[in-house]
């Protein structure tokens, strides 16, 4: 009885949050309402919907031994208590995605993003993570690709692998672009990030050679050195001799990151990748907790309107209407196909009891969604004028604060040149104008929150702390992404010429690493040289590819349910699948075919050709831009084609099973009684 | 006191996905007494290989 009342109260609190968000009129609204609506919804969804999924749909059974118990080897199959594994899984799925997407989508106002992040996660994203975790746990921790192959056939497995490889390329390129836009002409940022390389090498040596396996010690030393580097960055930035050494232009940074990516993926893992991974995990968890605490302490007023005029598709940060583009811009945080790879990787091999999968799979994704809500708060607490000054492309704004202010005024937001100059000086930068990509505006918002909660006057420190924290784990994603891309390329190339498939053969490592880096490096350089800054073309491409991977994962999930004899519950994955397909295919078609050159790749190519013909654009440069547009169009078409093929192959399988032409046989590992008591 | 600190460190290690050498040695002694116990360094190298050997471990 008391419980019912408590849950009624939670539900009412969430509803009150939504009510205020929907009906509020006025200049600002407190972030408290947004957080109340989100957390209330999460709690109700976790208590009721995830329980329904766990008991009715999946039939989680604690009498059944998990792979971690049956195959325990102390290394990858390790029974792990559920809160520890929750933390581990969360650290693995949370990255730059949930931080950047909501910041970019804030150009539509705070409401569209909030609705999609919160409703999307409870009905789609968390369901996807949970179903894949469940399926993999019942199959000894098999990967998404292997499950696609076993459930639907070898062709689907191969297509899933191609989809994963393609998204890795786009993901790496766009994340690297976010780093470039945050670090260009910023000696403080470049110095701090450059320091992470020697710090990681030291940690690697410490953990492997000097004091083997003393990972905590090494990480503590690493974090301390990183903080010192952050403080030292200020002196570098103000020193007349050192500052020019670390002031790098966009293209220089891009080539440096490409070179770094290649070296990192060729070096042994223990040297660079593994220590950086630890460093970024600790920084990530620590900073997210700090940010949550800061937001709760400050409860900042949100200055962005609920809905801006840019829902009509004329937004400066990226083109396209609120439908479908809000839903692909925010991928991670609402639903992210990439999570299916983690949920079918290390995590299922560590689950101690089947019922733990509910907290880890569903709950872990709710937590990531909350990170996205915090990022949205950090972006929308800025003055809208400041937000657009940081995020709109330089080509739109003009180079000076005065020019930018007049452009932004024309959009209906007030801001003064003095305000922009003062803000840049406050965070220790020359300028913040035109730093598209989300990281800088998020960092300004975070600096505002953290200095408000933990120490006024440290704005510059917190700003660079936030930049460092984002760049650090983006570069770690880049390292791991390149390695994974290399392994997949080796596997594919092994079919053509067997020696290339040997993962430890050095010539093969060099060739396939170079191939992977060249692929994302090309898109990165294209983005850096794009007159509109690159984010506006690459981020939608990333959103589309990530959501299409989610569609593949949901297809596998549906197949698992139908073959497991749960066809009457297949709607739990079919509904999100239908929504994700609708959104991404609409967005994909618009990006390729729309007549507006700001939106469509092909019409932009045509408009560029017309400019060249009229003599207003250099022919060489024009040819390059046209090639890039066509390449982006082809990439989007390939993503869509691959997904539709997977959907078709899966649907065929479902129908055959439902018509009883094919036996509904689950490929689960047979039941073994657990040895755990109670 | 030390017990509790040690347990906390173990939690931190596990959250970050770090290998737990002591736990592995205990596991070997208990379940596979016939196998040789690896040194801390061998164990760490093997763990790094297993963890980054295949598949993505990190998300966007």
Rounded to the nearest 5°, which phi and psi values hold at A180?
-60, -45
pLDDT range class, residue A247, cuts 50, 70, 90: very high
C-alpha–C-alpha distance, residues A664 and A658, integer Å: 8
Q: What is the CATH number of the domain that holds A181?
A: 1.20.1740.10
Predicted pLDDT of residue B57: 54
The answer to whether residue A328 sits within a structural domain is no
Domain count, chain A: 1
Output helix, strand, coil percentages for chain B, rounded to the nearest 5. 65, 0, 35
Q: What is the pLDDT of residues A70-121, one digit of tens each?
A: 988 777 788 888 998 999 999 888 888 899 999 999 999 999 999 999 999 9
**pLDDT tens digits, one per residue of A354-406:** 999 999 999 999 999 999 999 999 999 999 999 999 999 888 888 788 999 99
- What confidence score (pLDDT) does residue A532 get? 80
Residues with Cβ within 8 Å of A29's Cβ and at least 6 positions away in sequence, in order, are A20, A21, A301, A302, A306
User: What is d(CA A148, CA B33) in angstroms, rounded to the nearest whole number?
Assistant: 38
Tokens 């009906």 label which residue? A23
Across the strands, what pairs with A673?
Answer: A64
Average pLDDT rounded to a whole number, residues B40-54: 78
Residue in B15, B54, B55 nearest the CB of A87: B15
Does residue A488 or residue B19 have the better pLDDT? A488
Return d(Cα A343, Cα A368) in angstroms, integer.
Answer: 14
- Take residue A607 and report the two structure tokens written for it: 């408009």
What tokens does A593 get? 């075919």
Decide if B59 and A97 are in contact by the 8 Å CB cutoff: yes
CA dihedral A188, A194, A199, A204 (to 10 degrees): 160
Q: How many angstroms separate the CA of residue A574 from the nearest CA in chain B?
A: 24
pLDDT tens digits, A295-345: 999 999 999 999 999 999 999 999 999 999 999 999 889 999 989 988 998
Q: Range with the lowest mean pLDDT among A135-144, A230-239, B22-31?
A: B22-31
pTM of the shown model: 0.93
| Candidates A70, A74, A266, partner chain B, best to mutate (most B CBs within 10 A) | A74
- Asked whether residue A674 is assigned to any structural domain, the reply reads no
Contact A92 B39 (CB under 8 A): no
Q: Residue A270 contacts by C-beta under 8 Å, 6 or more apart in sequence? A: A204, A207, A208, B44, B45, B48
Q: Nearest chain B Cα to A167, which residue? A: B60
- Which pLDDT value is given to residue A1? 80
What length does chain B have?
Answer: 60
Q: Average of pLDDT values for B35-51?
A: 82
Residue A160 forms part of a structural domain:
yes
What confidence score (pLDDT) does residue A552 get?
93
User: How is A186-209 classified by DSSP, letter by letter?
Assistant: -HHHHHHHHHHHHHHHHHHHIIII
Q: How far apart are CA A445 and CA A381, in angstroms?
A: 7
Task: Collapse the DSSP code of A437 into the 3-class scheme (helix H, G, I; strand E, B; otherwise coil) and give the result.
Answer: coil
Over residues A533-546, mean pLDDT: 89
Distance from CA of A406 to the nearest CA of B (A): 36
B53 contacts on A by Cβ (under 8 Å)? 503
**pLDDT tens profile A153-211:** 888 888 888 888 888 899 899 999 999 999 998 999 999 999 999 999 999 999 888 98
Q: Where are the beta strands (DSSP E) in A301-353?
A: 301-302
Q: Could you report the per-residue pLDDT of A410-466, keeping only the tens digit for each?
A: 999 989 999 999 999 989 888 888 888 888 999 999 999 998 888 767 889 999 999
Which residues are CB-contacts of A451 (< 8 A; sequence separation ≥ 6)?
Answer: A457, A458, A459, A462
Question: What is the reported pLDDT for B46?
Answer: 80
Question: Mean of the pLDDT values across residues A584-600?
Answer: 94
Contact A76 B50 (CB under 8 A): yes
Among the partner residues B20, B31, B55, nearest to A345 by beta-carbon distance: B55
Mean pLDDT of A239-255: 94
Q: Would residue A9 count as lying in a domain?
A: no
B44 contacts on A by Cβ (under 8 Å)? 207-208, 212-213, 270
Planar angle of CA A261, A266, A271, nearest 5 degrees: 90
Burial class (CB in 10 A: 0-12, 13-18, 19+), A289: exposed
Interface of A with B in 318-337 (CB under 8 A): 331-332, 336
| pLDDT for the residue numbered B56 | 52
What residues of A are in contact with residue B33 (Cβ under 8 Å)? none
CB < 8 Å to B47, chain A:
75
Residue B52 has pLDDT above 80, yes or no: no
Mutation site, B18, B29, B45, B56, interface A, largest A CB count within 10 A: B56
Average pLDDT, chain A: 91
Contacts of B45 in chain A (CB under 8 A): 208, 270
DSSP, collapsed to helix, strand or coil, labels residue A487 as helix
- What phi, psi does A29 have (nearest 5°)? -140, 145
End-to-end CA distance of chain B: 39
Contact call for B59 and A477, based on CB within 8 A: yes
Spans of all domains in chain B: 19-53
Phi, psi torsion values for A503, nearest 5 degrees: -65, -20
Helix, strand counts (H, E) of chain A: 30, 2
pLDDT at A277 over 80: yes
Confidence bin at B53 (pLDDT 50/70/90): low
Tell me the shortest Cα–Cα distance from A130 to chain B, in angstroms: 16
CA distance B59 to chain A (A): 5
Mean pLDDT of A554-580: 95
Split at pLDDT 50, 70, 90, the class of A261 is very high
CA A100/CA A391 separation, integer angstroms: 11
Give the DSSP letter of residue A358: I
What is the least distance, in Å, from the CA of A260 to any CA of chain B? 18
Residues A609/A629, Cβ–Cβ less than 8 Å: no
Expressed as residue numbers, the domain containing A618 is 29-185+248-318+333-658
Which of chain A's residues have a Cβ under 8 Å away from the Cβ of B57?
Answer: 92, 277, 342, 345-346, 480
A-facing residues of B in 1-60 (CB < 8 A) are 9, 11-21, 23-24, 27-28, 31, 39-41, 43-60
State yes or no: pLDDT of B58 exceeds 60: no
Neighbours of A133 (CB within 10 A): 29
Q: What is the pLDDT of residue B49?
A: 77
**What value of ipTM does the predicted structure carry?**
0.84
Interface of A with B in 467-506 (CB under 8 A): 476-477, 480-481, 483-484, 487, 503
Contact A216 B12 (CB under 8 A): yes
Query: Can you spell out the DSSP letters for A598-621?
Result: TT-HHHHHHHHHHHHHHTSS-HHH
The answer to whether A142 and A527 are in contact (CB under 8 A) is no
A369 touches chain B (CB under 8 A): no
Please check whether residue A416 lies inside any domain of the structure. yes
- Give the minimum alpha-carbon distance from B53 to chain A in angstroms, rounded to a whole number: 9
Yes or no, beta carbons of B41 and A213 under 8 Å apart = yes
Which residues in chain A touch residue B51, judged by CB atoms under 8 angstroms apart?
76, 274, 346
What span, in angstroms and rounded, lies between the C-alpha atoms of A116 and A94?
18
Q: What is the pLDDT of residue A655?
A: 95
A594-615 average pLDDT score: 94
Q: How many CB pairs under 8 A join A and B?
A: 132
Give me the DSSP letters along A75-139: SSS--B-HHHHHHHHHHHH-SSHHHHHHHHHGGG-HHHHHHHHHHHIIIIIHHHHHHHHHHHHTT
pLDDT for the residue numbered A296: 92
Across the interface, whether the CB atoms of A143 and B12 are under 8 A apart is answered no
Interchain contact, B60 vs A546, CB within 8 Å: yes
For chain A, the straight-line distance linking the first and the last C-alpha, in angstroms and rounded, comes to 26
Res B19 pLDDT > 70: yes
**Looking at chain A, how many residues does it have?**
678
pLDDT tens digits for A552-564? 999 999 999 999 9
Nearest to A417 by CA among A436, A431, A435: A431
């Amino acid at each position: 009885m008391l419980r019912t009342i408590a849950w009624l109260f939670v539900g009412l609190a969430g509803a009150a949050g939504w009510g205020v968000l929907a009906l509020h009129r006025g200049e600002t609204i407190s972030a408290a309402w947004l957080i109340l609506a989100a957390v209330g919804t999460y709690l109700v969804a976790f208590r009721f919907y995830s329980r329904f999924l766990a008991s009715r749909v999946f039939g989680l059974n604690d009498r059944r031994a998990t792979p971690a118990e049956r195959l325990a080897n102390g290394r990858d199959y390790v029974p792990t208590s559920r809160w520890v594994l929750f933390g581990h899984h969360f650290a693995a799925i949370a990255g730059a995605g949930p931080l950047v997407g909501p910041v970019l989508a804030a150009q539509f106002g705070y409401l569209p993003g909030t609705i999609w992040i919160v409703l999307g996660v409870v009905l789609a994203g968390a369901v996807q993570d949970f179903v894949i975790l469940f399926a993999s746990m019942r199959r000894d921790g098999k990967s998404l690709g292997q499950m696609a192959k076993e459930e639907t056939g070898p062709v689907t497995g191969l297509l899933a692998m191609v989809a994963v490889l393609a998204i890795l390329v786009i993901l790496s390129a766009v994340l690297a672009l976010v780093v470039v836009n945050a670090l260009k002409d910023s000696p403080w940022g470049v110095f701090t990030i450059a320091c992470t390389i020697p710090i990681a090498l030291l940690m690697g040596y410490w953990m492997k050679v000097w004091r083997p396996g003393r990972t905590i010690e090494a990480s503590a030393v690493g974090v301390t050195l990183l903080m010192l580097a952050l403080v030292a960055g200020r002196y570098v930035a103000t020193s007349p001799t050192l500052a020019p050494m670390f002031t790098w232009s966009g293209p220089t940074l891009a080539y440096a990151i490409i070179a770094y990516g290649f070296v990192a993926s060729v070096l042994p893992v223990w040297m660079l990748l593994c220590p950086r991974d630890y460093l970024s995990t600790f920084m990530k968890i620590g900073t997210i907790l700090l940010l949550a605490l800061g937001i709760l302490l400050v409860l900042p007023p949100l200055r962005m309107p609920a809905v801006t005029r840019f829902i009509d598709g004329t937004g400066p940060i990226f083109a396209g209407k609120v439908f479908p583009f809000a839903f692909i811009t925010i991928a991670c945080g609402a639903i992210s196909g990439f999570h299916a790879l983690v949920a079918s990787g290390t995590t299922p091999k560590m689950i101690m009891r089947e019922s733990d999968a509910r907290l880890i799979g569903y709950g872990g994704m709710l937590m990531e969604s909350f990170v996205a809500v915090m990022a949205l708060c950090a972006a929308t607490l800025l003055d809208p004028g400041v937000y657009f000054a940081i995020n709109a492309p330089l080509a739109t704004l003009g180079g000076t604060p005065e020019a930018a202010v007049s452009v932004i005024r024309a959009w209906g937001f007030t801001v003064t040149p003095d305000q922009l100059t003062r803000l840049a000086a406050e965070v220790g930068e020359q300028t913040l104008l035109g730093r598209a990509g989300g990281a800088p505006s998020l960092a300004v918002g975070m600096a505002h929150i953290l200095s408000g909660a933990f120490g006024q006057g440290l704005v510059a420190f917190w700003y660079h702390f936030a930049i460092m924290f984002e760049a650090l784990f983006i570069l770690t994603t880049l390292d791991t992404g390149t390695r994974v891309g290399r392994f997949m390329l080796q596997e594919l190339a092994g079919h053509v010429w067997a020696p290339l498939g040997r993962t430890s053969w050095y010539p093969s490592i060099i060739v396939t690493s170079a191939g992977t880096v060249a692929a994302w490096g090309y898109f990165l350089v294209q983005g850096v040289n794009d007159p509109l800054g690159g984010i506006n073309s690459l981020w939608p491409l990333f959103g589309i590819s990530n959501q299409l991977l989610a569609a593949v994962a949901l297809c596998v999930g549906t197949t698992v349910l139908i073959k497991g004899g749960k066809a009457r519950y297949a709607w739990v994955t079919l509904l999100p699948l239908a929504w994700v397909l609708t959104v991404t295919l609409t967005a994909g078609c618009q990006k390729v075919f729309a007549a507006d050159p700001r939106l469509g790749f092909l019409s932009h190519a045509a408009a560029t050709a017309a400019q060249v013909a009229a003599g207003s654009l250099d022919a060489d440069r024009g040819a390059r831009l046209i090639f890039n547009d066509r390449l982006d169009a082809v990439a989007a078409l390939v993503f869509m084609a691959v997904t539709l093929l997977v959907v078709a192959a899966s649907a065929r399988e479902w129908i055959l099973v439902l018509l009883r032409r094919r036996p509904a046989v689950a490929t689960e590992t047979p039941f073994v009684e657990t040895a755990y008591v109670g | 006191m030390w017990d509790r600190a040690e347990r906390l460190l173990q939690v931190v290690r596990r959250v970050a996905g770090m290998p737990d050498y002591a736990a592995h040695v205990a596991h070997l002694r208990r379940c596979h007494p016939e196998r040789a116990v690896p040194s801390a360094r061998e164990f760490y190298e093997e763990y790094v290989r297993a963890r980054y050997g295949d598949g993505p471990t990190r998300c966007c």
